[in-house]
Amino acid sequence: MATRFLLLSLGIVISSTATGSAQEIPWRTDYRTARQESRDKGLPLIVDFSTENCFWCRKLESTTFRDPVIAGILRDEFIPLRIDASRDPNLAQILRIQSYPTLVLAAPDGKILVFVEGYLEAEKLLPHLRAASATALATPDWIKRDFEAASKAVAVGDNAKAILLFRGILEEGKEGPFQRKAREHLSHLEAQAENRLAHARKMEDQGQSLEALETLAEILRSYPGTSAASEAKKLIGAAPGRLMSRENLQARRAAELLAEAKSLLKSREFCQCLERCQTLMTAYAGTPESAEAKRMVDLISENPDWLVEGCRLLSERMAAMHWTLAEAWIKKGNQAEALSALEKVGQFSPGSPLAQQARNRIAELKGAPALPTGFKKP
């Protein structure tokens, strides 16, 4: 029975008048409204199935539901719904409720967590409520994966990917530790974008219009969706009129960027080549250099071997960055974070000399006394 789901897709609307509701618990009486509220707030749903002439139902109301601890949990951690099955039997029949009272505890996504049949005293009902609340409010695996991927993106400077992932975590709706951390990261990235925008304005004021334009293009590429990116887009749109007198300088800069991109392609530095091409396509759109950059991007994108090599180089850089991070944590006295960073060295660059050094360093740290962390247990 614990694997059954509440059948939202059927569009069943069940209304019931609660009898003898405990004043401490704000019982809902409409099923569809309560389900929507459960989903919107990310809180589990508890459905109290009772009948009008049920002795144990009335006893559950007058004793267990009047317990201050139980009432507080149902009020703060659940969406409580009461259904009188003698008046509205549809939902009870669908869920095959056979005895009363029966409590059904369901997660915000509609999955039933547990059926509790018959009368229970407060101390016996409490573990069911605690377990259902913990299960329903547990962090989904995809949030953990996306948060880790976003953190890695920040580490390698892929702010655009990080912003997209962090926003997806916040759009999930719940407020938990991962959401708070995601909000902090987004705030930090917003501040970075604002600093870059201020720098671009300063260069524009100093007559460095082309340099300012490149910085604005970088903001659009690296910080999409931020207020700074919106402002950068407006400034880029207004730039051509201000830069007409510098047309020759703009053409020279575009030619320099294209030459850099070609040189990087020749030396098989594919990731950096793509970065130069993106700058050309964004900041110098409509120029012959931009069209040539587009062809180079297509050429790289259609060559899996080149992409594999680019990913390999990027992984090696990530491994080197985590090695540096591990050394920094060691200097700070945080052995746990240092070990985590060293393990990622092997993940990003398995079989490399640096990975072997990381394994040796891990063995050295684990064999040594624990490093002081500077934190005290609460």
Confidence (pLDDT) at 187 = 93
Confidence (pLDDT) at 369 = 47
Burial class (CB in 10 A: 0-12, 13-18, 19+), 273: buried
Confidence (pLDDT) at 130 = 86
Confidence (pLDDT) at 12 = 38
Alpha-carbon distances, residue 59 vs 45, 114, 121, 253 (angstroms) = 21, 21, 10, 83
Burial class (CB in 10 A: 0-12, 13-18, 19+), 166: buried
How is 321-352 classified by DSSP, letter by letter? HHHHHHHHHHHHT-HHHHHHHHHHHHHHSTTS
Single-letter residue type at 173: G
* Domains of the chain, CATH where assigned: 8-136 (3.40.30.10), 142-254 (no CATH), 306-367 (1.20.58)
What digits encode the pLDDT tens for the residues 171-228?
Answer: 765 666 678 788 899 999 999 999 999 999 998 888 777 788 888 889 988 998 899 9
Residues of the chain with pLDDT under 50: 1-22, 243-245, 368-378
DSSP state of 370: P
Confidence (pLDDT) at 22 = 39
Prediction pTM value:
0.38
